[in-house]
Amino acid sequence: MARFDGYAVLITGAGQGIGEATARRFVSEGARVLLTDLDKARAKKAAAAVNESVGAPADADAPDASSPGSTGRGVAEALACDVADRTAVEAAVAHAVRRFGRLDVLVNNAYSCHPDAPLFEDESDDDWHQDLDITLNGAYRCARAAMPHLAAADGRGAIVNIGSVNGLYDFGNHAYSAAKAGLGSLTRTLAGHGGPRGVRVNLIAPGTIRTNAWDGREAVIERVSELYPLGRVGEPEDIASAVAFLASRDAAWITGVTLPVDGGVLVSSPVVRGTFGNE
């Protein structure tokens, strides 16, 4: 029996990168997964790629995908969802419950990140509000809609928020970093609320991950890799593995934590070590 047989999972921002890799991991372990993304075509493409990669049914109407409580081979489905829209979020959660008969795991992965203005006083209100609304408020909307179903999931209910090392340390991106720091606080307060209801809530703080956001900047990725004690940047699958752990019964006594998955970047500075390490 696979670790997530019978589980139903909803992932936001799942059209590529960490979200798609996380969906693939869950489906490979037996879960039925709803991939949501602002871009419907991207979500459908990612779901098809996930199903193909793990040998799941390509037809979303296959019995294993739609029978409530069914176990066996996992499958991915796709749905457009704008996490900035409460109605769309509630519709996505309702769709997952209708299709799968339950909801056990929510992965809040959707985010927005605008580059900083050269001077802080030139920061745009619109960029600031959008980064917070998608990254922090979006997770809040999803957790609010999902919580009653997660609480009814027979002790399997879990929320895994995708934060960032930016929420823990200065790596730039004022609005994005503030939103990720806020998401860490929301994780802790939701863990306190959800625990008595059988829902665990945790956060993963990734370091630099090789995703589509870095397309065309391979030389930068190589330079950044030198800052990591483990000698490389992360891959989406590194984060997917951590998400699967925190969502599973293997982490049954873990809630309210922030887990850095960062190649050691938060605990070691190669620049400082190179300057003072031989003294």
C-alpha span between 150 and 110 (Å, rounded): 19
At 31, list the tokens.
């879960």
Catalytic residue among 7, 44, 140, 180: 180
- Contact between 114 and 130 under an 8 Å Cβ cutoff? The reply is yes
Our answer to whether residue 40 is catalytic in this structure is no
CA distances for 101 relative to 51, 248, 268, angstroms: 20, 19, 46
Query: Catalytic one among 7, 111, 140, 176?
Result: 176
Q: Shortest CA distance to 197 belongs to which of 243, 160, 161, 147?
A: 147
Active site residue 176: yes
**Contact partners, residue 220, CB within 8 Å, separation at least 6:** 214
Please, are residues 251 and 199 in contact by the beta-carbon 8 Å criterion?
A: no
Which position has the token pair 């730039």?
A: 172
Q: Which residues are catalytic?
A: 176, 180
